[in-house]
């Protein structure tokens, strides 16, 4: 009898451990094709903005770093496993991918979604990153945190320092995996900024764009698959990360590029995986239906050159040694930007400049600015500077001028 009870107990523990190894972010079965067939035509055939069921939704233009659409996109909220975007950034910038990590008890014992690592397993940083981003392994997150930061707390410090360096003022990190903690939060906008930054790292882009990958643990190969349901199933999608906790709800950060339009969408606080998927598809299809890319630099340069033809000779520099000046506009922060198709002819450019200057004037001195607006939105103000130094006349210059004027 006692032996039977012990056997049942051991069997229960074994099954329990296997359940822990299951990826909790992917346990809701959805019919993706049915969702696409229902959602895409609806967005295509309806003129108004789609209705979103998730609590937080945002679309971000990677070219101009602007928000194209948002619903509660600036609100501080839990982020679940989308945290692992920042985890990857810190690891990729601070670790050797070939380092072999020995799994400690703290990593092996973490709950939630797991890669399935056990104490004393050996795996490279490189393969841990795949386990982190494809299978959303919390055990991989803790193992990487200990390896890079010395501890979870030490790694969180690195994450917060990186956030500060990136100018993320509404994000704070406590863990490398994103399990619910009161002081662990971000906004949809800042999460999009993190993804945008991370996608500039070639290895990160390679990892999150991978549907499946063969990792090695203790010399044994194992194939893992990506939890991102849209990757490979929706035109243009090339990343980024899923997430789920009770506090954060279902989350999905998606990178998508079609022709020149490269966007990141963020859906947080969805009650089900189906809603997360529907809202992500709705938002992506809405953006590609309503927006197009314009060459802002070409538009501004053409207007600035036309303005110079009319105004450059009107600028008077008192006591200047030479006549005429050369000026240029500061380079734009971005060349192209996404705008609503209905707004593409509503870019306004105002050019302001000083028409009287006193020599000497140094090279690169600001003498005006170019203000760019899209209807009521301020796109940017860019200085107009001198390309060459303007020297002041000296006595001999006045003398030569006088002699040249003498009869």
The residues carrying an active-site annotation are 81, 84, 136
Cα–Cα separations (whole angstroms), residue 152 to 134, 143, 244? 21, 9, 20
CB atoms within 10 A of CB 381: 13
Q: How far is Cα 235 from Cα 226, in angstroms, rounded to an integer?
A: 17
Token pair of 187, please?
């906004």
Can you spell out the DSSP letters for 83-99?
Answer: GHHHHHHHHHHHS-TT-
Token pair of 109, please?
């014992």
Q: How far is Cα 241 from Cα 244, in angstroms, rounded to an integer?
A: 11
Can you spell out the DSSP letters for 132-195?
Answer: HHTS--HHHHHHHHHHHHSSHHHHHHHHHHHHHHTT-TT-B-S-SS----TT-BB-HHHHHHHH
With contact defined as beta carbons under 8 Å apart, do 162 and 126 qualify? Answer: no
């Amino acid at each position: 009898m006692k032996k039977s009870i012990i056997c049942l107990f051991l069997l229960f523990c074994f099954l329990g451990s296997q359940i822990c190894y299951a990826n909790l972010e992917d346990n809701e079965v959805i019919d993706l094709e049915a969702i696409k067939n229902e959602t895409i035509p609806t967005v295509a055939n309806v003129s108004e903005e789609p209705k979103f069921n998730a609590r937080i939704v945002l679309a971000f233009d990677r070219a101009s770093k602007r928000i194209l659409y948002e619903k509660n996109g600036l609100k501080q909220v839990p982020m679940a496993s989308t945290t692992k975007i920042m985890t990857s950034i810190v690891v990729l910038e601070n670790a050797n991918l070939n380092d072999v990590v020995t799994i400690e008890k703290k990593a092996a014992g973490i709950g939630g979604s797991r890669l399935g690592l056990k104490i004393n397993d050996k795996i490279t940083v490189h393969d841990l990153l795949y386990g982190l981003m494809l299978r959303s392994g919390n055990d991989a997150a803790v193992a990487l945190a200990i390896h890079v930061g010395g501890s979870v707390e030490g790694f969180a410090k690195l994450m917060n320092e990186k956030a500060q360096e990136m100018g993320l003022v509404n994000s704070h990190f406590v863990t490398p995996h994103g399990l619910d903690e009161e002081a662990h939060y971000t906004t949809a906008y800042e999460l999009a900024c993190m993804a945008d930054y991370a996608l500039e790292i070639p290895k990160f882009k390679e990892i999150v764009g991978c549907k499946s990958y063969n990792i090695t643990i203790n010399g044994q190969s194992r194939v893992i698959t990506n939890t991102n349901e849209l990757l490979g199933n929706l035109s243009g999608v090339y990343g980024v990360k899923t997430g789920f906790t009770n506090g954060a709800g279902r989350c999905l950060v998606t990178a998508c590029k079609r022709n020149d339009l490269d966007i990141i969408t963020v859906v947080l606080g969805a009650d089900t995986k189906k809603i997360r998927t529907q809202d992500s598809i709705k938002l992506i299809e809405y953006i590609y239906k309503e927006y197009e890319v314009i060459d802002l630099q070409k538009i501004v340069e053409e207007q600035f050159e036309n303005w110079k033809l009319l105004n450059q000779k009107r600028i008077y520099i008192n006591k200047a040694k030479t006549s005429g000046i050369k000026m240029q506009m500061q380079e734009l922060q971005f060349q192209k930007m996404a705008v609503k198709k209905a707004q593409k002819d509503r870019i306004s450019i105002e050019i302001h400049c000083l028409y009287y200057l006193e020599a000497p004037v140094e090279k690169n001195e600001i003498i005006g600015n170019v203000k760019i607006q899209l209807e009521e939105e301020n796109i940017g103000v860019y200085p107009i500077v001198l390309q060459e130094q303007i020297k002041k006349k000296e006595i001999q210059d006045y003398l030569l001028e006088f002699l040249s004027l003498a009869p």
